Structure 1
Amino acid sequence: MDSDIKVVVYTSLPADSYAERALRAGALGFFNKDRDISQLAPLCQLVLQGYACFPQTTLLPLLNAPLQNKNILARLSDRELTVLRYLSEGLSNKEIADRLILSNKTISTYKTRLMEKLKVSHPEELVNFYHQDECYDGK
């Protein structure tokens, strides 16, 4: 990656689940769309000056303690998280398989793994789990 390129993730996705992924992927900042937009430019200036800017409530647990249950989505692989997001949007296994260029069987396997990891007994509960975590604001 070119050292002159500085990446700030600007998203509506929850920081508790995605900020760490952004950091691991090389981003230097994370800004959620529910924050005051007037704060985006100062954050970008800090990133350009060489600082990493991430939500404090997201990084403190990463630095000081293992992930807790409320951050369980952060423990999922990127592919599992993608499948879960598509499931939460109401897509069928076939539709997800077509989008990800995978087989229906592979999506079914991801679904089973997600149910095991998230400790839910019905596929419908995966959608509820995803939306429940998405609303968590870390406060």
Structure 2
Amino acid sequence: MDKIRILLVDDHAVVRSGLTMLMNVQSDMEVVGEAADGNEGIAKALELKPDVVLMDLSMPHGRDGFSATSELKKVMSNVQVLILTMHDDEEYLFRALKVGAAGYVLKSAPGNELLHAIRTVYKGEAYLYPTATKRLIEGYLKFAEKEEEDSLELLSPREKEILSYVATGYSNKEIADKLIISVKTVENHKAKIMEKLQLTTRPQLVKFAIKKGLLELDE
């Protein structure tokens, strides 16, 4: 059976030694090299062609883990970078994922969790420690909510007005009569609204309008 070839990048020799002992006793893993900073890690990765790079983030001398991960993914897109860090912080987590890391594990995690994470990213899957998954979901929901708020600002005052009438249930002709415009103009506005909001059905428009409080129209 082919072993998972692992490169360790951490500025602490004792940490690297302990990790090497843990992994080399596994039947499916082999530590093929070590590096003390990001620059050395990139050079060793290019030389040794590991399957997984176990990367620390905070390395005071030389290139840090964020920069090294970003560069590695540019020159070796197939390598899987697993972050192993003491930073239980969502900003670090998001930055690591943004630069291309396949996983994020805390140094305080038990050894079997780290081994599981290595096997997971080796298969091309993502791995996050349990509380990180919750944070990632919360972060995504906040981002999605902000995006939706921003999307309302894409609409002109007339488009918001037409959207509110559509959501209230008025037909194209009724809207045209109220606004003293042609039915064709109403249809064009509706098409632009759906394009801007990236919506495809009337129920989606209604749901969006309700959420944004656009149903209260002055008669």
Higher helix content, 1 or 2: 1
Q: What TM-score, normalized by structure 1, do the two folds share?
A: 0.45
Higher RCO (C-alpha 8 Å, min separation 6): 1
Bigger radius of gyration: 2
Higher strand content, 1 or 2: 2
